[in-house]
Structure 1
Amino acid sequence: MNTKVFFLLGLVAVVAADKRPALAYGPPPVSSEEFEAPKYGFDFVVQDAESGNDFAHQETRDDDNTKGSYTIQLPDGRRQTVTYYVDGDSGFIADVQYEGEARYPDSSEVGRYSPPAAPSSRYGAP
Structure 2
Amino acid sequence: MDLQVLTIMIVVGATTADPGDYQVYPSVPLPYQFNYAVHDDYKGTHFGQNEKSDGNAVHGSYNVALPDGRKQTVDYTADHYKGFVAKVSYDGVAKHPAKYGPPITFQQSGGGGYH
TM range (shorter): 0.5 to 0.7
Structure 2 equivalent of residue 111 of structure 1: 101
Q: Offset at 1:41?
A: 0.8
TM-score normalised by the chain length of structure 1: 0.60
Structure 1 equivalent of residue 82 of structure 2: 90
Match status 1:61 vs 2:53: yes
Taking a change above 3 Å as real, the CA distance of residues 66 and 114 of structure 1, as seen in their structure-2 partners, is closer
Q: Which runs of 5+ in 2 are unaligned?
A: 1-11
* CA distance, structure 1, for counterparts of residue 96 and residue 55 of structure 2: 44
Partner secondary structure for residue 81 of structure 2: helix
Aligned length: 97
Q: 2:71 is matched with which residue: 69, 79, 89?
A: 79
Q: Which runs of 5+ in 1 are unaligned?
A: 1-22
Structure 2 equivalent of residue 43 of structure 1: 35
Q: RMSD over aligned Cα, in angstroms? A: 3.1
Partner secondary structure for residue 38 of structure 1: coil
Taking a change above 3 Å as real, the CA distance of residues 114 and 88 of structure 1, as seen in their structure-2 partners, is closer
Contact kept? 2:32, 2:55, Cα under 8 Å: no
* CA distance, structure 2, for counterparts of residue 116 and residue 72 of structure 1: 28
Taking a change above 3 Å as real, the CA distance of residues 75 and 115 of structure 1, as seen in their structure-2 partners, is closer
Q: 2:62 is matched with which residue: 50, 70, 81?
A: 70
TM-score normalised by the chain length of structure 2: 0.65
